[in-house]
Amino acid sequence: MSDAAIALRDVTFAWGEAPPVLRIAELRIATGERILLKGPSGSGKSTLVALLAGVLDPQGGTVEVLGQDMKALGRAARDRFRAGRIGLVFQMFNLLPYLSAVENVVLPGRFMAGRAGKRADSVTHAERLLAALGLDDPALYRRSVAKLSQGQQQRVAAARALFARPGLLIADEPTSALDSDSRDQFLNLLAAECAAAGTTLLFVSHDDALAPHFDQTLTMAELAAARPV
Amino acid sequence: MPIHLLALKSLWSRRYVAGLTMLSIALSVTLLLGVQRLRSEAHDGFTRTISGADLLVGPRTGPINLLLYAIFHIGDPDRGISRATYDIIAAKRSIAWTIPLSLGDTHRGFTVIGTDENYFRHYRYGGSEPLGFARGNAFAGSDDVVIGSEVAGHLGYTLGQRIVLSHGLAAVSFADHASHPLHVVGILRATGTPIDRTVHVTLDAISAMHLPPPSPFAGVASSDDQTRARADPYSPYALTAFLVRLKSPQMIFTAQRAINGYRGEPLTAVIPAVALQQLWEVVGVAEKALLVVSALAVATGVLGMAVAMLAGMNERRREMAILRAVGARPGQIFALLMSEVTVLALGGLGLGMVLLNLLILAFGSRLADRYGVIVRPGLPDAQDVALLLLVLAAAGVGGLLPAIKAYRATLADGLTVRV
């Protein structure tokens, strides 16, 4: 057990009998850090995200997230751990189109251990997050996300990922569809929210221009080549 | 947000497909419950073709055969009962009333029954429905005739219509009683029993049509008459059968034994309700087949639901992946799918009930008028509820396949949809 937000050692993953798509000798990210992880398409970034989220199991090695060995958790416990401790934002935002903005944000509360508390508190918290992330028109909160712009949808996705006050926020190329101004504004807001909550941020992208927003930049190639200490 | 609310919102986002799926379940439920109600009503109607009479008495024969020709007018009796015997039994003190039944003539394919005024006064069908007149009233003389609703409807007869009966029970007869025309004085309301297809005349009319002109000795049945009656069931001296109501129901078995052992001539007395039940066991196979067909319709509806859900499953894998990403367990994805199945099935059941009641409201009176089948709108009874629960269980089984597929897909896909 370590006090790092993320600690991976000798991790390999393959789909079935195929050759491994991911090899990581070692990865350590300290709590509260903001990390940019880069790598070309097909380098295993999304697989790494799934391993950290506890949705996939590695064939070898250990994956510790927020001090928890993911392999030691049963499937249901891992799902609850993800709902309560890990926030995820995807490239396509992955919102449920039949729910409103607020309903999408409070969704993790439905699946967290012990639930998120009272519904009214959840909604207030969700609205505060949406406002903090730049979606400050309350008229949009009850609107179906399918009727929001891409930028607005992205803020809803980020608010959903931060809803459970997660220890770790993993963002998988969420800014690839945005122009540079919107992207920078979004990253600043996201970083501020993470700092306020003490959340570690792992931001996956292949965009070099994002590096100034982060404490450290890692590449998939470096992770594969690193030797365990 | 509770899973069932999520299921409702998800279904609403696919409301056209969900609506059609629900409609297909609703139509099969309407068919199933409709058949069940008609079946139940037909059974009740059949077993209550006649009520209120304690015994049906005829010449010595089997109970079902006697019931078939005396009540349902199917088949021919091979002998009759003399009127003298009828008079003796009808005069017994333990008997409240009797209704004589004399068959042997037809009118354009419809059975003619010779009887007396007791028929209209005491005959009961259904629970204990008396015969009622849609128009006119009971016969008063030998020139009068009362016709059933189907006779009137089919032949277009109204009050005052002049008709001539034909001799024999064949559909086509070449011997008309043209010398004794009759006039329609009453048209009965539909009963849903063979009475609707019957022409009723007085026993005197039967005699008048068949006997030679009266002699000074008319009205006294000789022993020769009795012999002739037994040999020829259509003799004007004979009755085909008669119904008996006893003053005390406790006397039924005693009276039945006494009549069966009557020494004057060989007779059979049966309890109508018992004989009707025996007959239903023979003819009830058809209604069971109908229920099987409607159950197959339900199976088709449920299968349609499973197919629609399976077909949409590939498009929904992204939705499942999102739910997994926010912490939903595979079991909760399974529960979500089963909630959707439950919503579709319950919606289908509710809609099916509404459709059935609307159909009953629209066509119920026509069913009653034309076939005497009385089906009333209303909430499901215990039998309906049992059937509805079976449909719900079938929908649950049908929904297992897409739910299991969704469960497996979420495990395989993880956070992204893999093809």
A29 vs A168: CA distance, rounded Å = 10
Name the residue among A55, A96, A103 with its Cβ closest to that of B414: A55
pLDDT at res. B68: 87
Q: How far off is chain A from B332, nearest CA to CA, in Å? A: 9
CB contact under 8 A, A49 and B415: yes
| β-strands A200-204, A34-38 pairing | parallel
CB contact under 8 A, A53 and B321: no
pLDDT at res. B54: 93
In chain A, what residues touch B1 (CB-CB under 8 Å)?
99, 103, 106-107, 110
> CA of B11: which chain A residue's CA is closest?
A98
pLDDT at res. A93: 61
Give the angle subtended at the CA of B94 by the CAs of B93 and B99, to the nearest 5°.
90
Task: Kindly state the average pLDDT of the residues A60-78.
Answer: 89
Q: How far off is chain A from B126, nearest CA to CA, in Å? A: 55
CB contact under 8 A, B1 and A107: yes
Interface of chain A toward chain B, CB-CB under 8 angstroms:
46, 49-50, 53, 55-56, 75-76, 79-80, 82-84, 88, 90, 94-99, 103, 106-108, 110-112, 160
Name the residue among B1, B9, B325 with its Cβ closest to that of A94: B325
A39 vs A224: CA distance, rounded Å = 11
Helix (H) or strand (E) holding A36: strand A34-38
Low-confidence ranges of chain B (pLDDT < 70): 1, 45, 48, 168-175, 211-237, 368-373, 410-419
CB contact under 8 A, A49 and B332: no
By three-state DSSP, how is residue A43 classified?
coil
Q: How far off is chain B from A159, nearest CA to CA, in Å? A: 12
In chain A, what residues touch B3 (CB-CB under 8 Å)?
110
Burial class (CB in 10 A: 0-12, 13-18, 19+), A229: exposed
What sign does the CA torsion over B28, B29, B30, B34 have?
positive
pLDDT at res. B95: 94
In terms of phi and psi (left: phi > 0; alpha: psi -120 to 50; beta: otherwise), the region of A134 is left
Q: At what angle do helices A75-85 and A101-111 cross, to 10 degrees?
A: 140
pLDDT at res. B178: 72
For residues A20 and A216, is the Cβ–Cβ distance under 8 A?
no
pLDDT tens digit string along A93-116? 678 889 999 999 998 887 775 554
Q: Is the ipTM of this complex over 0.85?
A: no
pLDDT at res. A116: 46
Sorted by sequence, the CB contacts under 8 Å of residue B334 that are 6+ apart come out as: B403, B404, B406, B407
CB contact under 8 A, B415 and A110: no
DSSP structure string for A68-117: EEGGGS-HHHHHHHHHHHEEEE-TT----TTSBHHHHHHHHHHHSTT--S
Q: Which two tokens stand for residue B1?
A: 């947000």
pLDDT at res. B109: 85
**A29-38, A61-70, B211-220, B352-361: which range is least confident on average?**
B211-220
For residues B316 and B348, is the Cβ–Cβ distance under 8 A?
no
pLDDT at res. A221: 82
In chain B, what residues touch A98 (CB-CB under 8 Å)?
9-10, 12-13
By three-state DSSP, how is residue A46 classified?
helix
- Quick check: B408 contacting A, CB < 8 Å? no
The total of other beta-carbon atoms located within 10 Å of residue B376's CB is: 11
Q: Read off φ and ψ for residue A134, nearest 5 degrees.
A: 100, 5
> What rounded mean pLDDT belongs to chain A?
84
pLDDT at res. B193: 84
In chain A, what residues touch B323 (CB-CB under 8 Å)?
96, 107
- Quick check: B1 contacting A, CB < 8 Å? yes
B71 vs B276: CA distance, rounded Å = 10
Q: A9 or A42: which carries more pLDDT confidence?
A: A9
A135 vs A123: CA distance, rounded Å = 15
Task: Kindly state the average pLDDT of the residues A7-29.
Answer: 87
In chain B, what residues touch A76 (CB-CB under 8 Å)?
329, 331
The total of other beta-carbon atoms located within 10 Å of residue B167's CB is: 17
Q: How far off is chain A from B315, nearest CA to CA, in Å? A: 13
Q: Which two tokens stand for residue B343?
A: 């919503």
In chain A, what residues touch B12 (CB-CB under 8 Å)?
98
Q: How far off is chain B from A173, nearest CA to CA, in Å? A: 13
pLDDT at res. B57: 95
Give the angle subtended at the CA of A31 by the CAs of A26 and A37, to the nearest 5°.
50
CB contact under 8 A, B330 and A75: yes
- Quick check: B332 contacting A, CB < 8 Å? yes
In chain B, what residues touch A106 (CB-CB under 8 Å)?
1
Residue in B142, B133, B214, B152 with CA at minimum distance from that of residue B182: B142
pLDDT at res. B201: 94
| β-strands B182-188, B238-239 pairing | unpaired
pLDDT at res. A113: 59
